[in-house]
């Protein structure tokens, strides 16, 4: 998975959800202002465990690693929730600057300026793997190219090459 002998990996899950890191946050802000953005972020955080954590933990565990989620640490979540949204993000600024602003400013303070000013690119988009799939497929959907094959009470899912 990471090419290094480690047993624990740190993930960034929770940062986008709490700090307006998704493009849908910018769209919500443009349509409904800060109040709409706050509601969207509250909804994101409320469903993160059912949408992401189990799946991510299983994938990481399948590679013999344990995941840690520092942005979902109780103290981090409490701290971020104590801040007004405009201290965490400023979506009037261009993409790659305004979202997750508090993290970008911290990165600049640490001398990571070039990284701090890059726009977000999700792994599936950065790797271009998403272009290999059908446009109507979502990562959370069961792939239509899978079929269940039963053999002596053993069910195996096998990918059908098309």
Non-local (6+) Cβ contacts of 138 within 8 A are none
Classify the phi-psi angles of 107: left when phi > 0, otherwise alpha if psi is within -120 to 50, otherwise beta.
Answer: alpha
**For every one of its 162 residues, what pLDDT tens digit does the chain have, with 9 covering 90 and above?**
556 688 999 999 999 999 999 999 999 999 999 999 999 999 999 999 888 888 888 889 998 999 999 999 999 999 999 999 999 999 999 988 999 999 999 999 999 998 898 877 666 555 555 566 556 666 556 666 655 555 554 444 444 444
Query: What is the per-residue pLDDT for 6?
Result: 86
Helix then strand count (H, E) for the chain reads: 8, 4
Query: What is the per-residue pLDDT for 130?
Result: 56
Between strands 8-10 and 66-68, the pairing is: parallel
Chain centroid, CA 126 distance in Å: 13
Beta bridge partners of 10: 68
Query: What is the per-residue pLDDT for 56?
Result: 86
Own/partner pairs, 37-43, CB within 8 angstroms, 24+ separation? 37/85, 37/89, 37/91, 38/85, 41/17, 41/85
To the question of pTM greater than 0.85 for the whole model, the response is no
Each domain of the chain, given as residue ranges in start order, spans 8-159
Q: Beta-strand (E) ranges in the chain?
A: 8-10, 66-68, 146-151, 154-159
Chain centroid, CA 107 distance in Å: 19
Query: What is the per-residue pLDDT for 5?
Result: 80
**Topology of the domain comprising 8-159:** Rossmann fold (3.40.50)
Interatomic CA distance for residues 37 and 23, integer angstroms: 11
């Amino acid at each position: 998975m990471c090419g290094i002998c480690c047993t624990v990996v740190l993930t960034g899950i929770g940062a986008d959800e709490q700090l307006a890191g998704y493009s849908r946050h910018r769209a919500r802000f443009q349509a409904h202002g800060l109040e709409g953005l706050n509601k969207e972020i509250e909804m994101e955080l409320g469903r993160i465990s059912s949408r992401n954590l189990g799946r991510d933990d299983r994938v990481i565990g399948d590679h013999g690693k344990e995941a840690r989620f520092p942005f979902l640490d109780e103290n981090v979540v409490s701290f971020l929730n104590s801040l007004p949204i405009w201290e965490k993000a400023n979506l009037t600024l261009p993409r790659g600057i305004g979202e997750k602003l508090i993290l970008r400013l911290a990165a600049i303070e640490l001398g990571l300026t070039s990284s701090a000013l890059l726009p977000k690119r999700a792994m599936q988009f950065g790797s271009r793997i998403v272009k290999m799939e059908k446009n109507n497929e979502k990562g959370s959907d069961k792939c239509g190219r899978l079929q269940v094959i039963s053999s002596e009470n053993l069910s195996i899912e096998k990918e059908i090459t098309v």
